[in-house]
Amino acid sequence: MDAQSRGRGENIDPADQWVLNPDTGEYELRLGPSAPQSPIPGPRGPRPPGARNPGARNAGTKTPAGRAPERPGRGAPGRETPGREVPPQRRRRGVPEEPPPGRRGRRPAKKNAKAKKVLLWTSGTMAFLVLGVGMAGYLYLEHLNDNITSVSDDGASTGGFKKDEAINILLIGTDKRTGSGNEGYGDKGSAGHADTTILLHVSKDRSNATALSIPRDLIVDIPDCPTEQEDGSQKVIPGSPGVRFNTSLGQSGRTPSCTMRTVTELTGIKPDNFMVADFNAVKTLTSAVGGVEVCLAKDIDDPDSHLELPKGTHTIEGEQALAFVRTRHSVGTGGDLSRIGLQQQFLSALMRKLKSNDTLTSPSKMIKLAEAGTEALTVDSQLDSINKLKDLGLELGKLNVKNLTFTTVPVVDNPAETVKATVVLNEGKAPEVFDLIRNDVSFTEVKQKQKQEKAAVAARLKGEKAPASEVRVRILNGGAPGGSAQEMLSWLQVEQGVTKSENAGNAPGELSRTTLEYAPDQADQARRLADILGLSGSAMKPGESVTNAQGVPAMTLTLGKDFKGAGVSLTPPDKAPDDIEKSTADKVECAK
């Protein structure tokens, strides 16, 4: 877009128009005396259902100068609308009138306080970098909204993230050769496969997060994918068993929602939202922050990625940054798994840069980040709103980078191949990693964990236990395989002596974890049943009792998606195993 469409006059950087008001501690848009404006853009009228963003890429026609058409009733930024008087800028209540030029009093601004205010506006905006930049000044996001392109989630998501629950975002980097200078990367003519995929899990208490890389060459079963077509019709794209993971996107017309379904099939974790970025994202965002610092344990000269760097520490940006994350032949074993390690190092370095005061306190950098990020971003239909992006950004912005862990799905070479080109799940390790994420277990030692709360939960298991013959419980199926409630009933009655139990059918909704709800006077029964089932204290939910078929008070056991069969312990893992390869975003790792 040209200068006018970005809300700036000729030869004026928009970042220079956002000024920190020392009296309010907020950034305000100052366009000069000819066009006073409010620091907060006015509301936009609602779009008709199904209508695309008027300024979204490939969404419609542009004016001859390349600008998006102006909205009715609103003049171009920096100019007065003909026939309409522009009101003077209003002062906030309680804020003293601004002194005339040359007499403005200054009071020293506290650097830390300013950083905190900017941090409140900061978080994640494009697929690779969702944790760091998304709400770069959310007052400015109203202007940026037209940059965002959305794609239907086709019912594959949970319906969007929720503030009071753990968050799972699927981040996808494609190998589509879009943008100038990208002809030498990816596959020629690629429709944009899932070349780099990360499942980002942010804990319920926002104290930690896990970024799980999924190898593109992992053999998976891609399910049938109901997919919305360009004309609005629905088409089911047939699934493919035993194929590379990266073909879950682009192949046969598959969209990101199909990658989302494939991840759910693979891990048992249903993502809340997805974000997709192309090659330009790495180039533009690293340039916006002035480059990121990476470390090499040896010289790299990779003719395929065009990266040539001696060992040591380097600051890279733009084309060189893209070459870095695309390199694989000169590191590790020369395969895609080695490249994943480079990408994780790069993202850790970028996270540190984004969280630094050098970035957070620079309005110019923040605005450039927002411009670059939204141009490179495609989101799902559940996330295509300013309020949703703002809310997601504020939730992700609570995370400390030292508690962001990068790890990769545990895999082994495909035993069916003589020449090793693909990988399969390590069945001894991968299920445990998936369980850790499903159960919201941190891969790091998090100091912010509420010790008192953990002690209170553990205390639910302590105390007297009633005899099994006195335990009264109703069993509901809340997401377990069909027939699980009857299987559990038979096992409890025949093998465990819990004869006062009954099958109460299906629960009103599905649960990810099995729960036991009981009244205070049933605590001894609950402890006995928890002991039999291997339930943790967190699965025990003090509440109210219900009546069973005989009209007698009973507890409620709801079998969730974690149920693996009667007699299999339901105690979730409480920490990551020591032999899982992982790194945290606060530490510098040198590529070998």
Per-residue pLDDT tens over the stretch 539-585:
888 888 799 989 999 999 999 988 889 988 877 666 666 667 777 77
Tally Cβ neighbours within 10 Å of residue 516: 24
3-state secondary structure 560-583: CCCCCCCCCCCCCCCCCCCCCCEE
Q: Quick one: which of 371, 384, 195, 391 has its CA closest to 274? A: 384
Tokens encoding 583: 């790194």
- With 0-12 / 13-18 / 19 or more C-beta atoms within 10 angstroms meaning exposed / middle / buried, residue 96 is exposed
Give CA separation, 177 vs 183, 277, 278, 327, 460, in Å: 6, 12, 8, 16, 56
Q: How many helices (H) and strands (E) does the chain have?
A: 14, 26
Place of tokens 């025949």: 494
All domains in the chain, ordered by first residue? 1-97 (no CATH), 116-448 (3.40.630.190), 455-559 (3.30.70)
d(CA 260, CA 156): 6
Write down the pLDDT at residue 168. Answer: 96
Enter the tokens of residue 437. Answer: 């994420």
Sign of CA dihedral 86, 88, 92, 98: positive
- Quote the pLDDT of residue 132: 42
**Listed residue (367, 319, 267, 298) closest to 20, CA to CA:** 367
Q: Could you tell me which of 262, 257, 255 has the C-alpha nearest to residue 239?
A: 262
DSSP state of 383: S
* β partners of residue 542: 518
Reported as a single tens digit per residue, the pLDDT across 440-462 is 888 887 654 445 445 555 566 77
Q: Which residues are CB-neighbours of 274 under 8 A, at least 6 positions away?
A: 153, 157, 169, 170, 171, 172, 256, 257, 259, 260, 379, 380
Measured CA angle at 49 (ends 46, 50), to 5 deg: 120
Residue of 83, 278, 46 whose CA lies nearest to 185 = 278
Phi-psi region of 396 (alpha: psi -120 to 50; beta: other; left: phi over 0): alpha
Structure tokens, 491: 């096992």
**In angstroms, rounded to a whole number, what is the distance separating the alpha carbons of residues 145 and 141?**
6
pTM reported for the whole predicted model? 0.62
- Please enumerate in sequence order all residues whose Cβ is within 8 A of that of 127, keeping only pairs 6 or more positions apart, or say none: 171, 172, 173, 275, 276, 277, 281, 377, 378
Measured at the alpha carbon of residue 553, what is the angle toward residues 547 and 555, in degrees to the nearest 5?
A: 90
The pLDDT value given to residue 21: 62
Amino acid at 372: A
Q: Over its length of 592 residues, how does the chain's per-residue pLDDT go in tens digits? A: 443 343 444 444 444 555 556 565 555 555 544 444 333 333 344 444 444 444 444 444 434 444 444 444 444 343 444 444 444 444 444 444 444 444 444 444 444 444 443 333 333 334 334 444 444 444 455 556 677 788 999 999 999 999 889 999 999 988 765 555 544 444 544 457 898 899 999 999 888 999 999 999 999 999 999 999 988 899 999 999 999 999 999 989 999 999 999 999 999 999 999 998 877 778 888 888 888 898 888 888 887 777 888 989 999 998 888 888 888 777 766 677 878 888 888 888 887 887 776 776 777 777 777 777 677 778 898 888 666 777 887 888 788 888 889 999 999 999 999 888 899 999 988 988 998 898 888 888 765 444 544 555 556 677 889 999 999 999 999 999 999 999 999 999 999 999 999 999 999 988 888 999 999 899 999 999 988 988 877 788 888 879 998 999 999 999 998 888 998 887 766 666 666 777 777 776 787 6
> 316 by DSSP, 3-state: which?
strand
Partnered with residue 518 across adjacent β-strands are 542
Task: Write the CB contacts of 64 (distance below 8 Å, at least 6 apart in sequence).
Answer: none
Please tell me the distance from the alpha carbon of residue 215 to that of residue 433, in angstroms, as a whole number: 15
d(CA 310, CA 298): 7
> Cα(82)–Cα(389) distance, rounded to whole angstroms?
34
Task: Extract the runs of DSSP E, i.e. beta strands, from 415-552.
Answer: 423-425, 473-477, 501-506, 515-518, 540-542, 546-547
